[in-house]
Chains A and B, each alone.
Chain A
Amino acid sequence: MSGRSTPSGPLMILYRLVFLLALFAIWHALTESGLLPRFFFGSPLLVLEKAARWFASGKIYKHLAITLLETVLAFGCGTLLGLATGLWLALAPAASSLLDPYIKGANAMPRVILAPIFAVWFGLGILSKVALGITLVFFIVFFNVYQGVKEVSPVVLSNARMLGATRRDLLRHIYLPSATSWVFSSLHTSVGMAFVGAVVGEYLGSAAGVGYLILQAEGAFDINTVFAGILVLTAFALLLDWIVTVTERHLLRWRPTSEGARLSNR
């Protein structure tokens, strides 16, 4: 994929930083010159100052921790539920065809509209955000597990049976690993969704979290703080994504990489 003239690692990082600085510079120039109204577009210097102050005063950590906790809980519970349901339905054709239209329907529904209902049911604390995140994560994991079980090669399955695997062995040593490998490969999406669930939930009504900070600032027309919140969220999302990448690389090392597959003699 990489062309001949693509610069190598460290140089690329430098270019990326330059690109980021350039974006901020343009933003700065546009708002300073008055081409864009500062009231609506903020000012990058003030935004950065605000973000720096959050970290310096330590005020942000509490909110980040809450958002992170919601994300992790939503991700964990959603994944477990999706895994269990996916395995069950993939191995029970009758139940699967019974529930099929309901699952499709539930997945097609925009889950964000559930947020107010969850707020009523679970209050304004973290539970309602976790619930929203679960509804988002669940379906991603569910469909991947379902696919993972269906995609198990019949030859591998027959082979395991001939080697003496019982139904439980098959579940534990064939179906589950195959399903989890699909879950791992959708990790980026599901972690992202858990994060979206947490922040959107906070934004729609809460007492803590980065989404709450943004909500508050918006109420006070403090556009710089809104941007600072977005900036922190973005950086945080990137960090989460990076952690996922590292985990994924470790967990899926048995898989042929696309590069390796091209080179191997299959």
Chain B
Amino acid sequence: MERKELTCIGCPMGCSITVELEGDEILSVSGNTCAVGDKYARTEVLHPERTVTSTVTVTGGEKQRVSVKTAGNIPKDRIEACMEAINNVSVSAPVKIGDIIIENVAGTGVSVVATKNIS
């Protein structure tokens, strides 16, 4: 059996939650004060996901960098690979909010899109 400790981000209470699990099966969730914490702990332990934001080099535009984000959440353990891909691309102006900068980043099925207009 494995034990994982985490802090709920559902509200400012920030309950310390303990999850006990056997492989992929959750045996118990404790320490949470409400149902939000239970749900958070279950996904966070089995499939933690994050949105990644960064910037990409722009050539020929009014600015040198354009801000970008993953269009959805990606698995937490793919963040590093995603950052590497982001740091290896550059785009040329103009760029519009929502333009796809990298398709299917690091094999996650999620695209990296621009979050700023650069003319």
- A and B: real partners? no
Residues of B within 8 A of A (CB): none
